[in-house]
Each structure stands twice: as C-alpha cells, then as structure tokens.
Amino acid sequence: MSVAELGLRSRTTIMSALPQTRLEPLASHYEASYHFLESELDLKSARLRLLLDLTNNMVAHVELNHLLTAVTTGTRQLMQSEFAILGLLDLETG
C-alpha cells in the first residue's frame, strides 16, 4: 500500500527538506546579473537599430537640410538627449 492510499501527506517538499546550501545566494546573484545584462543588451540593440535608421536616412536624403535634420534628430534619440548641434567645417577657412 502506498502513502497516498493511506491518506498520508508529506508536510515538506523535497526541496524544503534539504538544507540551504551556499549555492542559493550565488544563484540569486547570477539571476540578478542575468536580468541586468539582458536589459543592457536590449538598450544596446535599440541603439544599434537607431544607428542603422540614421545611416539609412543619410543615404536616403539628398538635400543637405533634410539630411542635417535627420542626423540631429537621430543623434538626439541615440544619445537620449534633448539637444544636438551639428557643425560643418568650411575647407577654405577652416
């Protein structure tokens, strides 16, 4: 006859019956590190997508004013900034 057939139930699970090991805090630390690194990866992926969009805009815009607007807008998004300045050097005057 089994324990279940006798109507007996265990009050503890196998995991709770085991002593807490030194690995549990380490596993918790690794899990927190994993989530942090995953969010960092998501941020870097988003920045790379913005950089790709910015590059595609540079190729698509032929007129300089439209190109400069697209570059400053994309740069502000990429750098998470509210303000961006773009300057062009004059080759003759420096």
Stretches where the chain sits below pLDDT 70 are 1-20, 94
Mean pLDDT, the chain, whole residue set: 80
Per-domain residue ranges for the chain?
26-79
Rounded to 10 deg, the angle between the 64-79 and 23-60 helix axes is 170
The pLDDT value recorded for residue 18 is: 59
Looking at the chain, how many residues does it have? 94
Q: What is the pTM of this model?
A: 0.51
DSSP secondary structure letter of residue 82: S
d(CA 72, CA 61): 13
* Residue closest to 85 by CA, chosen among 94, 73, 74, 72: 72
